[in-house]
Structure formats: C-alpha cells, structure tokens
Amino acid sequence: MKTKNYFLMCLLAVFSFSAYAQETTPNVPQGTASAGIFYKSHVSPSIQSRGQAPEMDLTPQEAKDKRSLGNTVVIGKDRQTQNDYFVRNRNEAEQSVRVAPPTLVFDAYQASGQPTDPAMAVGPNNVFVVFNTGFVIYDKAGNDVGGGQRPVTDIFSGGGCCDLTASYDQAANRWVITYLWASNGQIQVAVSDGPNPVTTTWSVYTIPNVQDYNKLSVWSDGYYITANTSGGKVWALDRAEMIAGNASATYQTFNLPGIVTSGFYSPQALNVSDDNMPAAGGATFLYLQDNAWTGVTTDHVKLWTVDVDWATPANSTISAATELPATPFISVFDGGSFSNLTQPDGGVAIDALQATIMNQAQFRKFATHNSALFNFVIDTDASPSIELAGVRWFELRQAGDNQPWTVYQEGTYTAPDGRHAWHASMVMDGVGNIAMGYTSMAGPTTPNPTNFRVSSYYTGRFSGDPLNAMTVVEEIIAAGNANIPTLRYGDYSKIDIDPSDDATFWFINEYMKSGRKGVVGAFTLTPPGLDDIGITLITSPNTGVLTATEVVTVDIRNFGSNDITNPEVQYILDGNAAVVDSYSGTISAGATESFTFSTTGDFSATGSHTIVAKTNFAGDTNTGNDEITKIVFNGLVYCEPTGNCDPLNDGVTKLALVDQDLDVNCGTTGYSDDTSIVFNFNLNNNPFNGTVQMGYVDSAFAIWIDFNDNGIFESDELIANEDVAAANTDFNFTIDFNAITTVTSGSHRMRVRGEDVDQSGDYLDPCGDLSFGRTNDYTANISGALGIEDVTITNGELIVLTQANNQFDISLITTFDGTASIAIYNVLGQTLAFNNLEKEGDRFNYQLDMSFADTGVYFIKVGNTNSGTFKTAKIIVK
C-alpha cells in the first residue's frame, strides 16, 4: 500500500523540489541548478517469479530517442590539411603484441530496434544484458538463466521508450539499471536488493527532466546521470538512499558552465569500475570540444567536478571548466549528418556516432594515482572526399582523490587493412592494463571489402607499455554476415571488468548475424597458449549458383606461440560424413594460412547448405576456437533467352537511368550478362526519370528487378513497360517505386528487354525468346526509404534572410509537425552540413554561419527526409 501511495504522490505532484537557478554561460564555479525529492514508483518482484519471458516483437522499428536530432557545425571553420597526427607519427609499438583469443563468445539477444543500443554489466556470477526494448540475464558460461529475452516492463513501468543502461555497483553489491521511461522527459532507475539479478527484487525510482541518451555512472557519494538535454545539465542521485530502498530520495542537478556542443549533448561522468571508491566529492564529467563548432578555438577536452552536500544542497558546487589540451582532431563527419561510413557492396552508410564521449568513461583508484579512461570517434583522413574512422582515446591521471586531472597519455587507434574503427568502449583491469572493444568494417582502401562487414573486435595495452599506443594486435570477437539495414547503428557499446578476478573483460556490441543482434565476448590480455590452432573463415564457396563439385577453402590461424606443422583439418557438409585432410607445411605462430580441401563438396541442391570446418590438432590448448560454421545458398539459375539484334539493331540500344548512361550490349545470342554494371537507386529520390532509345520503329521495352532474389522475374517485379514508336530517338519514362509492392533494399538482378513488336516473341515474358530483340541483365542496388510527397512541405514557405558577415536566417513555415532536416551543399553536391530540426511554433528555424566558407554558390534543402519532400534555395557567399 505504501508503494501505491508514493506512486499516487508522484502522479499528483510529479516532483517536489526547490530551484537554485544559475546561469550556464559564465565559466565560473556554480551551485546547484535545482534540488528536490524523487519517489520510488514501485517495487518490482523478482525475475524468477515472472516465469518464462513472452515472445518479443522483432518487427524493425527506429528507436524513438532524440539522438538523431543532429549536430551543428560551422562550414569551413576547421580546415584540416593533414591526416591525424598519431596516424602520421605511428608508434612502432602499436599493435605489436599478440594476446589470446576470446574465451567465450555468444549472441546475447536479437532485437528490432534501429539501433539496438547494447549495454551490459557483470556481477559476481551473472552478465546482465540490456538493449533498447528489453534485457536478458546470463551466467558466466553464456547460459540464459532469466527465462529468455524479457520486456522492460518486467522491471519498469510501461509506456517508455529506450536507452537502457546497466551497471554493477561492486561496493554495494547492487545492480543499477536505467530506462528512458516517458516521452515528457523522465527516466526510471531500478536498484536491486541484492547481487543475484534473477532472485532479487527491484526498487524503481522515477527521475525528472532527463530527456534522452541517459547514462548512469557509479561514484562514492551518488549515482550521476548525464543526458542529451539542452544546457548540459547533469544529475546527482542519493546513492545511499537508493541502495537502502527508501521510499523517497533526493537529487540535485547542475549545469555545466562553459560547455560548447554541436547540438547533441553527450558528456560522461566517470564511473568507478571496481569496489575501491574514491573519497566523497570530485565526481568528474568530461566532454570533447571541437574547433569546428561555434565558440571553440582549439580542439580540447573540458572537465568539471561536482561536490555534493546532501544535507545542505545550497552548499553543493560544480567547478568551472578545466580545459585539457588535445592533439588536433577531426570529429565532424558529413557536416554533422548520421549517414557516414559506407558498408561493403554499396550498403547503407551508417552512423559514426560523432560528437559523443562513448559509453563509458571509467575511473580506477590505485595506490599511487587515480586513472580515468574515455574515447570518441574521429576522422583520421583529412581529405574532404575520404572518411576513415579511428578512435581517439585518453588516459587522465590525478595524484589522489579530489586532485587536479592531467592528460597522462593520448592516442588514435586505427584498424588494420585500412578498415574503419569506431563505437569503442574502454576499461582497466586490476593491474592497470587497458582493454578496448570496438566495431570495425571495411574502409575505402580495404582489400576484399565484402569479407569485413560490421564486426566486433578488441585491442588493448599493458600497464608498462610505451605511452600513447594500443600495443595489442587486434582480436576478432565475432564477424557479421550482413550489412546494417539502416543508417542508425549503435548507439553505444559497453565493456566491463569481471569483479570475480579483476582481469576478465566482457564486451557487448551490435552486429548483423542472420538478424540484428548483440554479441558478447569475454577475454583477458594474456599471452596466447603454446599450441592453439583453429579455422577463422570459410572463404569458399559463397552464396550463388553452385555445383556438385565446389571447392571448399578455409583460413587456418595459429593462435598459439608455437609453430604447428601439418595440422589435420576437416569439414562437414549438411551433417554428412567428415571430409578430413591435412595442411602440408608449417603455420608460424600468429600466422593465418589459406587451405583448399582436396575433396570438393556437392552443393547442387537448391537451397541452403551448412558447412562446419574445424581443426583436429591433438595437443590444442584451446579447443573453443577450433570450429566455424557457414551457411551458403544455392540460388536458381537465371534464364538466358535468345534474340536477334543484328543486322537491324533491334531492342534497347541506349539506356540512361539514375547513375548510368549506357550503350546497351547486343550479345552473341541476343542475351548479355552485364551484372557488373550497377544502377544505384536511392529511394529517397523516388520517382526516377529515365531515357531509352530503340533501334527499330514500333518497338517496346520492359524492366524488372528480382526483389526477392528467387531467380524469377515475377509480374509484381515489373517496374517499367512502354511502347516506343520512333527509332534512335530519346524516349523518356518514369519509374515510381511507390507503385510496386515488392521493393526490398540491397543488390538484386535487373532485367531489361526490348523487341520489334511486329515480330514473334513477347517482350513481357522475361524468359521468352525474341525473334528481333535483346535481353540484358544488370545489378540494381536499392537503398534509402520510400516516401509519399508531403503536401505540408510542398505548400510550406521557405524564407532565407541574408544577414551581415555571411550569416543566414532560415525558416520553413509549414503545418508539418514531425522532425524536419536541413542540408547545405556545394555546387559539387557534397554535403557540408546537416541537422535535424524541431518545430518552434509555426516554423522550423536554423541559423547558418557561412563566415568561414569560401565565396561561391551553395544550396539549402529543408524538408521531410522520410517522404523525400523538400523546399530548396540558393545562397551566395561573398
């Protein structure tokens, strides 16, 4: 009854607090911005008492957070002319020391969120995994002990959104889970009653005015929260009261004086990563400051400390900002937009997560000093046409509790093979070794990019290693097998240290592995075993048209420290008898060698085939990495109809559509496989105008795209069909994908057919022979999203007012009430700035600073990205 009474008080009065208002502009010490009481909304019963989890909805849906509102940069303000300093001056110790592979890898959830926001915490016996719409509880062998993927309502109130986080407060033996609960800006924080997350009850508290991207950190005198909230506000929660499960507890908020952002607020509070708490006070907050932003003159890191007096809030203070120097960096991608890093095979360009201190900034207390770790993504290539993501990381140190912080070391981590590295998380073990988990995929110069889709890796350094270098050679946790389907990726990952041994690192990350999943890897920074060998990749065969005699090729890696000679390997196809062979020769320690089995495999049956390949080395010290599985699909053979293009040049002779303008091949049989030619359809630009020429009068043409990739061009995959009366003359046509019900993203076969309709044959039969005509197959790459013209944008009024010093006041007056976007382009079509906008009254407003831009003509586009409806204007910078 008491719990219900407190919940009623929360509903009726919302929150009781007294304000201690302070201005955020002066960079001087300040007091609290507000203080008050928050109430326990309810006590949630144990997970064990709830039985088996219900089946979760896996329908893809974008997370309803506000991170996507964008970043504001000043065009031309930060003109970088050199690649990243640490890339140009690579430390010879960088990635020079091998360590053992992961001791455990498992997929922790499958979710529909875009992104799924993976995080986790590790306790004495359990791993508590959270994602945007739920959670799962595991033991340390990777076994689900909580009854499956559970909805957030098994702990929290209903009606919430996303952004779950998980922490384990080692000093108190409590789990602390947060959830962005209400659209009006509240989160709920659940504190367990004990260390067993399955059997414990949960005290759930509701915290006011936390708008988005909430992150909670454990400190000695409170739980500290940061969020994407205008003004850079941070929250202090009374940890002692929450641990005790008291029905009410107090909070205090502070503004971060002197903070500058690009429009997205993502500072982080330092989190105590073990049970060795610092003295009260000195809770530390960090944020990067890029000189591409208004109000920042040099790249640096800002730092604030908070001293809370829980008894007398008026005595609480937040310090003025300390500016810590940083080696110059580029943190802006694509003018601040979220479409940044292009995936293999022309996949969607995904979010680099710029302008963000990545989850989680960590604190560690040692006998001689205190350390703090944090990181953020940067563009290591200064070229305006090339992006290569890397991780800028820092270790700060202070001589003791509540002493000044200084930069102890700083570096930039880049992945091998020209790959992107980003989406990182860092933590220290008990002796000061640093581990960093991160995402990597193929970059602009990576060989064989399709082998490197979004995947999870780790690196690190030992406490005595040369400064400023990640000395550990990267190890893969798990490789993704498909592209992320939308631009939203992340939004964060999480690494934790195991309290049981203070040496095992646990990292969770998002990837695609036959679905959108979170993958967990456990590892230590220890030397490899003596004899450790395994299969890391099955390189062939691959999905496509397969035969009864396909060669099977694998990569064999010697993980160990001893060379291994003539190891035995095998593969099993579709559960049949093992095919056993031997690698002839020696595989050196740390090396990877390719091996092709002498016996081929029969993949001729249409459908999926499962290959399991492994090593059979008798003295293997780690059999957990011996084996790998791959599923390939034997697709149908596309029909190749004949035709006659000569001597009258019948059929389609020229085709201009999206990014191609072609002379169409005739082919020796009237059929030509031109699938190496790719037509890139971005559905955001739908509909598409094309032009054809026919080689003979009274002809017709048709175009199909095999959207379901089943080898058949079906009637609902016909995207164009026109009669053309004139020969060798441009004929214009339009393709509207809104009229097609089967559209799917990705790469598909596109068939173009044309014929003289007075002769035998049917151009509308995709497999029929033509007496006089031709058939050509191309590749259609479909990206973006379909939309219907938004009349609220079309009927809106775009006003651009030119002001002094090349400042522009931009307003879109419209009845549209969603999230609008603005983009600024140069005459080459390059995106210079991008931002999402929230409506202010009857309009969307944007202040464009072009004072650092080159003179010339620029273009502005404002509107609804989802529907692809925009208003455009031209501006001139003088």
Q: Could you tell me if 330 and 382 are in contact, meaning their C-beta atoms sit under 8 angstroms apart?
A: yes
- Among 9-23, 633-647, 708-722, 807-821, the range scoring the smallest mean pLDDT is 9-23
DSSP state of 299: -
Residue type at position 393: W
Residues in the chain: 878
Tokens of 43: 């006590």
- Does the CA dihedral 839-267-851-70 come out positive or negative? negative
Write the CB contacts of 496 (distance below 8 Å, at least 6 apart in sequence).
120, 121, 122, 168, 273, 427, 505, 506, 507
The yes-or-no verdict on residue 139 having pLDDT over 90 is yes
Largest pairwise CA distance in the chain? 96
Q: What pLDDT, on a 0 to 100 scale, did the predictor assign at position 52?
A: 82
Domains identified in the chain and CATH numbers: 2-59+81-523 (2.130.10), 533-634 (2.60.40.10), 652-783 (2.60.40), 791-877 (2.60.40.2550)
pLDDT-based confidence at residue 15 (cuts at 50, 70, 90): very low
pLDDT, tens only, 821-877: 888 888 777 788 888 888 999 999 998 989 888 898 899 999 887 777 889 899 999
Q: How many helices (H) and strands (E) does the chain have?
A: 4, 59
Q: Could you tell me if 691 and 682 are in contact, meaning their C-beta atoms sit under 8 angstroms apart?
A: no
pLDDT-based confidence at residue 437 (cuts at 50, 70, 90): very high
- Alpha-carbon distance values, 779 to 635, 702, 784, 862 (Å): 16, 15, 17, 32
pLDDT, tens only, 28-67: 889 999 999 999 999 999 999 998 877 766 555 555 555 5
Tokens of 7: 């919940």
The yes-or-no verdict on residue 4 having pLDDT over 70 is no
The predicted model gives 793-806 an average pLDDT of 92
The yes-or-no verdict on residue 94 having pLDDT over 60 is yes
Give the predicted TM-score (pTM) of the model.
0.76
Tokens of 697: 């009068």
The yes-or-no verdict on residue 296 having pLDDT over 50 is yes
The predicted model gives 373-380 an average pLDDT of 98
Closest to 103 measured CA to CA, from 480, 505, 627, 495: 505
pLDDT, tens only, 234-267: 999 999 999 999 999 999 999 999 999 888 888 9
